[in-house]
Each structure stands twice: as C-alpha cells, then as structure tokens.
C-alpha cells in the first residue's frame, strides 16, 4: 500500500485517524490505560500497513521491535557509562 494510493487515502488513513480519536475520548479510568490502548491500536495498524506490502516486512518490523526492546534494557540507568555509550551506538 503506497501513501498515495486511494486505498490508503480513503480507507486506511481515515480509519486510523478516527480510531485514534475515538480512543482519545473513551471514558477509560486512567490516562495511562488510554495511552496504552492507543499505542496498541497504532501498533496493530502499523503491522497491517506493512503486511499489505508483504509478510517479509512484518518480520523485519518485529525484529526491530525485539532489537529495540533489548537495547532499552541495555540502556537501564544502573549500568556503567561506558556500557550506556556502547548500547547507544549499537542500537541507535
């Protein structure tokens, strides 16, 4: 799916904007829960967008998620400064 295709412009993009807006106004008890719901919605939409181009791109995206997750663990504040710099260079 290209950004300039009619499917993206008339179906996918409005669905994402309307869905994200509806999740913003839902009566959820906590602001953190609302943000978490919005993030999961946007993640699902992103995976769908990349899957439209091919399942190979979804696998790459999931690999990047895993790499970023472990990079974040390596960036934990209790590490030494040299370790932080190495992880910052490795995962940025």
pLDDT in tens, 2-13: 778 888 889 999
Could you tell me if 6 and 36 lie in one domain? yes
- pLDDT tens digits, 54-82: 889 888 888 888 888 777 776 665 555 54
Q: What is residue 77's predicted lDDT score, i.e. its pLDDT?
A: 57
Could you tell me if 60 and 47 lie in one domain? no
Task: Flag whether pLDDT at 52 surpasses 70.
Answer: yes
Single pTM value for the model? 0.68
Per 3-state DSSP, the chain is made up of helix, strand and coil in percentages (nearest 5) of 80, 0, 20
Domain encompassing residue 45: 1-53
Could you tell me if 6 and 41 lie in one domain? yes
Could you tell me if 48 and 69 lie in one domain? no
Could you tell me if 71 and 37 lie in one domain? no
Could you tell me if 29 and 65 lie in one domain? no
Could you tell me if 48 and 15 lie in one domain? yes
Could you tell me if 49 and 88 lie in one domain? no
Q: What is residue 50's predicted lDDT score, i.e. its pLDDT?
A: 87
Number of domains in the chain: 2
């Amino acid at each position: 799916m290209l950004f300039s295709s009619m499917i993206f412009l008339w179906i996918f993009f409005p669905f994402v904007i309307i869905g994200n807006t509806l999740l913003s106004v839902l009566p959820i008890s906590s602001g953190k829960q609302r943000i978490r719901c919005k993030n999961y919605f946007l993640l699902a939409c992103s995976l769908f967008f990349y899957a439209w181009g091919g399942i190979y791109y979804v696998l790459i995206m999931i690999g990047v998620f895993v790499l970023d997750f472990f990079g974040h663990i390596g960036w934990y504040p209790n590490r030494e400064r040299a370790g932080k710099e190495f992880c910052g260079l490795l995962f940025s």
